Amino acid sequence: MEVFIQQVINGITIGSLYGLIAIGYTMVFGIIGMVNFAHGDVFMVSAFFALIFFLALTAWLGIASITITLLIVMVISMVLTGLLSWAIERIAYSPLRGSFRLAPLISAIGMSIVLSNFVQVAQGPRNKPIPPMVRETFTLWENNGYAVTISLKQVIIMAVTAVLLVAFWYMVQKTALGRAQRACEQDRKMAGLLGINVDRTISLTFVIGAALAAVAGTLYLMYYGVVHFADGFTPGVKAFTAAVLGGIGSLPGAVLGGLLIGLIETLWGQYVSADYQNVAAFSILVIVLIFMPQGLLGRPEVEKV
Amino acid sequence: MSTISKPWDKDPVLTVEHLTMRFGGLVAVNDLSFSAGRGDITALIGPNGAGKTTVFNCITGFYKPTTGMMTMRHKDGATHLLERMPDFVVSKKAKVARTFQNIRLFSGMTLLENLLVAQHNPLMIASGMTFLGVLGIGGYKAKERQAIEKAKYWLDKIKLTDRADDPAGDLPYGAQRRLEIARAMCTGPALLCLDEPAAGLNPRESAELNELLLGIRRDEDTSILLIEHDMSVVMEISDHVVVLEYGTKISDGTPAETKNDPRVIAAYLGVDDEEVDKVEHELDEVQAHHTQGSGQ
């Protein structure tokens, strides 16, 4: 029982990160019907931004407070990653809008390779570590010598994710930009005729998705303490799986899918086989695509006439 | 057409000059010139395939016309050349709004949201590109409240206030048409282009529509350009009628003038009964003459 609860806590932590990344996939898919395969690598680059600025702030400027450092690093990483994603959209996707459907997809795969290879060359092929920063761990209860613990890192991850999701939900539901995004999702031409700058709305969607991925990237770096140039791939594909599982295009679905993938992965690792953790996660992708292509919360595909 | 200056030429809100739209070898609109007077309801009529919707698509930035000039003149004297604008600027700067023959509401969004989407630009500025809006800083709350007020005003006008929070796709057909007009009005247009607003409406709904359009002309600073097949709507509410046939203008005048224009009658309203009788009579005479001739 204790082991199970411990794994659930771990699963939710990872799942929160997947959820944050999955939102980027699902929003972009919702608005332009394209899978942004470079999103995982954008996440990886954001972790490197966080790494660089974390080291800069602590080593050069000597800021001692971890909270302040973390906050500054997160904001910087969000801004820079947002800019990066905006540039990617402008350079690699927006000129291909109106081209055949596969064109932006292939461009995204190319962008993904560009990003990971650039980081490999610029940052080196090894794991990049940061000194461990948040070490506190709380024991929730102890039984038969097994303590269920939750680390402060996990609390931070869950809390930051929850706060961001609320803010994000408010943005999509209640602000002009959110309404414009939903309008563009349904009928881009009509949205344009109502005075909405569709291109800008699409760009902002990429920026917002990237900013959420940057939060995930910063938290990922804090949680594991290392980042590697190929780290975009596995979490990226898992977050994509999460988006598909939840129903691609659905925002609550992305978060739900992220949490489920996180839980399945850790529980599978605990009870079945840690070696086959990733196999479990990706098997879900296959099974969902075969038996439930619209996902858990997705709308069934309606052919537009 | 005629050299006498028409009332709508004095202070036009929209002037279309020598508009031509070609699709490959097909000339959809051929050297069309007309003007729509400020505060008028101008109707654009013609048989199927006359190029009416193509004219709308050119005005609202859907198509780039092959040649021609379309000028919006605002009350403050500002002029905008529509053929040079991408579609969202046509609404944002030139203040032209339109509806479609087949309804294009955001069916998954509520009625209120549909009307708020149309007020995107002022809200976007007020929310400091959303960032400040999410944080609750600045005048966003007040602007949002204003926008909701405006939306409620229009919901009231189209008599759908009690359904404000339902998805737009759930409305009956006639109500969706009215909502589409209300949404277009929420953009604060100087010119409202309506593509067959009465299509598919029953007589009662059609009368409600007339009332709504006349109300817009009376109360708002909005001129209306209308494509319509329903002649009762055209004759009842429009001030000025432009008739197209095969992309070319064949008549331009008041409803009474166009109604009696023989070219319009021939092209659009068909030949009326008296004339048919007359022709038949003549044919009979000719035939009788022939049979007489062969009998001799």
Residues B60 and B196 in one domain: yes
- Provide mean pLDDT across the span A224-228: 92
Q: Residue B295: its pLDDT value, please?
A: 45
**Residue holding tokens 């600025």?**
A53
- Residues B83 and B37 occupy one common structural domain: yes
CA A111/CA A129 separation, integer angstroms? 25
B132, B164, B186 - which closes a domain:
B186
Say whether both B196 and B254 belong to one domain. yes
Tell me what the mean pLDDT of segment A70-88 comes to. 95
Q: Are B88 and A180 inside 8 Å of each other by CB?
A: no
- Is residue B60 within 8 Å of residue B87, measured between CB atoms? yes
Q: Which residues of A touch B62 (CB under 8 A)?
A: 189
Residues B117 and B178 occupy one common structural domain: yes
For position B280, what pLDDT does the model report?
Answer: 63
Q: Which of B29, B28, B38, B30 is nearest to B72 (CA)?
A: B38
Is the pLDDT assigned to residue B222 strictly greater than 80?
Answer: yes
Q: What is the DSSP letter of B266?
A: I
Chain-wide mean pLDDT for chain B?
Answer: 83
Query: Does some domain include residue B165?
Result: yes
The answer to whether the Cβ–Cβ distance between A176 and B130 falls below 8 Å is yes
Q: Which residue has the higher pLDDT, B129 or A4?
A: A4
pLDDT-derived band of residue B230, with 50, 70 and 90 as boundaries?
confident
- Taking CB atoms and an 8 Å limit, are B106 and A186 in contact across chains? yes
For the residues B259-275, what does the mean pLDDT come to? 70
Give the pLDDT confidence of A15-71 residue by residue, as tens digits: 999 999 999 999 999 888 889 999 999 999 999 999 999 988 888 877 777 888 889
**In this predicted structure, what is the pLDDT of residue B61?**
85
Query: Secondary structure of B129-175 in the HEC alphabet?
Result: CCHHHHHCCCCHHHHHHHHHHHHHHHHHHCCCHHHCCCEHHHCCHHH
Residue B199 included in any domain: yes
Q: Do A176 and B123 touch (CB under 8 A)?
A: yes
Pair B167, B199: CB distance under 8 Å = no
Residue with tokens 């570590």: A129
Q: Which of A170, A176, A198 sits opposite B124 (nearest CB)?
A: A176
Here the tokens at position A234 are 């596995």
Q: What digits encode the pLDDT tens for the residues B67-103?
A: 999 999 988 888 888 888 888 888 888 889 999 888 8
In terms of domains, do B41 and B169 share one? Answer: no
Q: Is A173 on the interface with B (CB under 8 A)?
A: no
pLDDT higher than threshold 80 for residue B36: yes
Running DSSP on this structure, what letter comes out for residue A229?
Answer: G
CA distance A135 to chain B (A): 31
How many Cβ atoms from other residues are within 10 Å of residue A226's Cβ? 14
- Which of the 8 DSSP states describes residue A106? H
Residues B229 and B252 in one domain: yes
> Is residue B11 domain-shared with residue B155, that is, in the same domain?
no
Q: Is the pLDDT of residue B158 over 60?
A: yes
First-to-last alpha carbon distance for chain A, in angstroms, is 53
Best mutation target, B58, B63, B80, B87, to test chain A (most A CBs within 10 A): B87
Where is A192: in which H helix or E strand?
Answer: helix A188-193
pLDDT of residue A305: 42
The total number of structural domains in chain B stands at 2
Spatial distance between the Cα atoms of B143 and B125, rounded to a whole number of angstroms: 10
Q: Enumerate the residues of chain B whose CB falls inside 8 A of the CB of residue A177.
A: 124, 127, 129-130, 133
A162 close contact with B: CB closer than 8 A? no
Range of the domain at B125: 106-186
3-state secondary structure of B242: strand
| Average confidence (pLDDT) over A98-124 | 92
Read off the pLDDT of residues A185-209 as tens digits, 9 standing for 90 and up.
Answer: 988 888 988 889 999 999 999 999 9
Q: How confident is the model at residue A284 (pLDDT cuts 50, 70, 90)?
A: confident
Biggest alpha carbon distance in chain A?
Answer: 67
The whole-model pTM stands at: 0.85
* Judgement on whether residues B83 and B112 belong to the same structural domain of the protein: no
Rounded Cα distance between B228 and B239, Å, is 14
Q: Are residues B171 and B137 in the same domain?
A: yes
Highest mean pLDDT among A80-84, A245-249, B288-292: A80-84
Residues B12 and B63 in one domain: yes
- Six-digit token pair at B212? 């709504």
- Beta strand B223-227 pairing with B191-195: parallel
Residue A26 Cα, gap to closest chain B Cα (Å): 17
Kindly calculate the radius of gyration of chain A based on its CA atoms and give it in whole angstroms. 19
Angle (CA) A211 A213 A215, round 5°: 75
Contact A25, A166 (CB under 8 A): no
Tell me, what's the pLDDT at A173?
87
How far is Cα of residue A256 from the mean position of the Cα atoms in its chain? 13
SS3 B191: strand
Find out whether B200 and B188 touch, Cβ atoms under 8 Å. Answer: no
Look at residue B2 and tell me whether its pLDDT is greater than 60.
no
Q: Which two tokens stand for residue A248?
A: 């691609």
Closest partner residue to B187 (CB to CB) among A170, A186, A194 is A194
Test A190 with B107 for CB contact under 8 angstroms: no
Distance from CA of B225 to the nearest CA of A (A): 16
User: Is some CB atom of chain B closer than 8 A to the CB atom of A198?
Assistant: yes
B116/A179 Cβ within 8 A:
yes
**Residue A293 in this model has a pLDDT that exceeds 90:** no
Looking at beta carbons, which residues of chain A come within 8 Å of B92? 195, 197
Taking CA–CA distances from A177, the nearest residue in chain B reads B130
Longest dimension (CA), chain B: 102
Of B91, B100, B129, the CB nearest to A194: B91
Instruction: Report whether pLDDT(A240) > 80.
Output: yes
B279 or A81: which carries more pLDDT confidence?
Answer: A81
Residues B135 and B91 in one domain: no
**Type of residue at B12:** P
User: Which among A171, A196, A204 has the least Cβ separation from residue B120?
Assistant: A196
Distance from CA of A81 to the nearest CA of B (A): 16
